[in-house]
Amino acid sequence: MKGEIKNNGGLYLILLFIAGAVLRAAGISAQSIGPEEFTTARFASASGIIALFWESFQTQAHFPLFYMLEHLVCMVFGYSETSLRLLPLLFGIASMPVFYRLVRAFFNEKISLAAFFLFALNPYQIYYSQQALSASMFLFVSLLITYYFLMSVKYNAFLMKPFIVWSVIGVFTNSLTVILLIIFNLIIFIRYREEIRLNLWIKAQVIIFCFMLLALPFILKGGGVRLAGASMLMAPFIAVKNYLFGFTADFNFLMAAGCAGAAYLIIMAALTYRHKNMKIISLTALISFLYPAALWAASIFGKFIYPESGLILTAALVLVLLAIGISYLSREGVMLALSLMFIFYSVSVYNFYVNEKYKKTDYKKQYEEIVKQAKEGAVFIHSSINSYQAYEFYNRIKHRSNFENRKIQEPSEAAKKGIKYAVSQKWEKFREKTLNGSFKLNISSGYDPNMITSAELSKKIKDYKEVWFVKDNSTGIRQPWLSTGAVWHSDTELEAPLNVEGLLWVRNYFNIKETKKYYGAAVYKMERR
């Protein structure tokens, strides 16, 4: 088998790369824009870099490098699903040779090819290569940071310049890079300070920190609300399944058996003491554990959300450990393990591309069908932020401006307090004073001028000639939030029952003339009494 690998290793590598690239690119624009992508879409459509940066500063916990790049891509190629997903796709494809280089630098060809097989065809990695998110860019950068870190520890030859460059880019890409760098520093100073050029390492950290000061206002804001409870206790276990088999694999008995077998091989690799690269294996296992553990603890005790996309580096390193564990098996065992992984991968990828229940809510189809029927001056009122933002997105693509798009939402606590920005009663005035109203503020923070309270809607309803009410569930198709513990697909029933006929503004002014059912959503055409 060794001779076969040696002779055909290059061919296997090329074929796997082609297969991985094709799977990442296939159907990139087939599915509608989804809830996770709305933020990217909003920033990409900003009126300019200044507006983008300002809104990002108000609403995001990351320096907006990725959003700036997305904005430039859309300026060149136009504003569409394909344009928004092009950059993540390129980073997803570029991550494959970087991943192989990282593994091959420390392990033999047998392990490297097995790891590359697992990575190139992995449904988790394929998914994030098709989403308008910074995840694939973060993976690309964090793999390079990890590569130069491991090389420095292994050979005591710290490559300071590339480590600094990629670390700075990482900090500007995702604030979670800071946690990764903290872990690296702890490892160095606790265990390997005698095996690395410590003076150069300290100098590099000082330089990185100086650049980090530019992103510090974003970093200090954190990543959202604190999450706690039983759901978070299950998050690490759900993560393992996602790393291995993706979001579109139901957690049934066979999947549980597959996870158990893979976990055994990963643990066997992590605890080995007979491998000549025991140091690198131990470091890989340590990073794979400490990084998600830090985020998990921060999610429970701090202000960070346990971020599925931010764990993409751990997902890649886990596959390295799995490949090492597989390499300890006999020839027949290796073939059986890789064959079983391929079968599990195939089921998950099939679900992602073909199975309807795993697809995102088709806002695009819904928009095109409904808007086509709408008359001049029609208003669309949304119960969910997801359908609202989807209509905003497709309205911009279709250059539609002959109807109004509104989101019913009571002011958030932040909006009520109005500590830094604006109170709910002064949305319009604030918008007029801010860059001449050239951009919209983040709706989830309660500042979007198209958000309207129930009371305000009741007052304005007499001005509307034709009303369409879009009743969406809370998340559209269930997105891969680890904190929820939810399986990656939606039930056909709406999550939050809502008596449309009982709504005050409907009861007083309208009859329901027509109802259109969609997967996870319903649209009501209202007729004035």
481 has a pLDDT exceeding 50: no
Whether 415 and 447 have beta carbons less than 8 Å apart is answered as: yes
377 has a pLDDT exceeding 70: yes
492 has a pLDDT exceeding 50: no
In the numeric block, which tokens belong to residue 35?
Answer: 């809830």
| pLDDT attached to residue 472 | 75
| pLDDT attached to residue 153 | 86
How many residues are given for the chain? 529
| pLDDT attached to residue 389 | 83
164-173 in b/e form (b: 16+ CB < 10 A) is bbbbbbbbbb
323 has a pLDDT exceeding 60: yes
pTM score, two decimals?
Answer: 0.84
Cα–Cα nearest to 178, from 149, 227, 142: 142
Residue, of 197 and 188, whose pLDDT is higher: 188
Mean pLDDT of 118-137: 94
Give the pLDDT band (50/70/90) at residue 476: very low
Query: Which residues face 523 on adjacent strands?
Result: 470, 516
The tens digit of pLDDT for each residue in 175-184 reads: 889 999 999 9
Report the 10 Å Cβ neighbour count for 160. Answer: 15
The tens digit of pLDDT for each residue in 493-516 reads: 334 456 777 777 787 778 888 888
Whether 321 and 266 have beta carbons less than 8 Å apart is answered as: yes
Whether 103 and 323 have beta carbons less than 8 Å apart is answered as: yes
| pLDDT attached to residue 364 | 86
93 has a pLDDT exceeding 90: yes
Residue, of 421 and 224, whose pLDDT is higher: 224
The tens digit of pLDDT for each residue in 41-74 reads: 888 887 778 878 877 777 777 888 999 999 999 9
Mean pLDDT of 306-333: 88
Residue, of 173 and 403, whose pLDDT is higher: 173
| pLDDT attached to residue 225 | 39
Give me the helices (H) in 246-380, please: 253-270, 278-301, 312-327, 331-353, 363-373
Residue, of 220 and 12, whose pLDDT is higher: 12
Domain locations in the chain?
Answer: 2-358, 363-409+453-528
**What would you measure as the largest C-alpha separation in the chain, in angstroms?**
81
| pLDDT attached to residue 258 | 85
Percentage of the chain with pLDDT > 70? Answer: 78
Mark residue 418 as left, alpha or beta (left: phi above 0; alpha: psi -120 to 50; beta: remaining): left
On average, the pLDDT of the chain sits at: 78
| pLDDT attached to residue 372 | 83
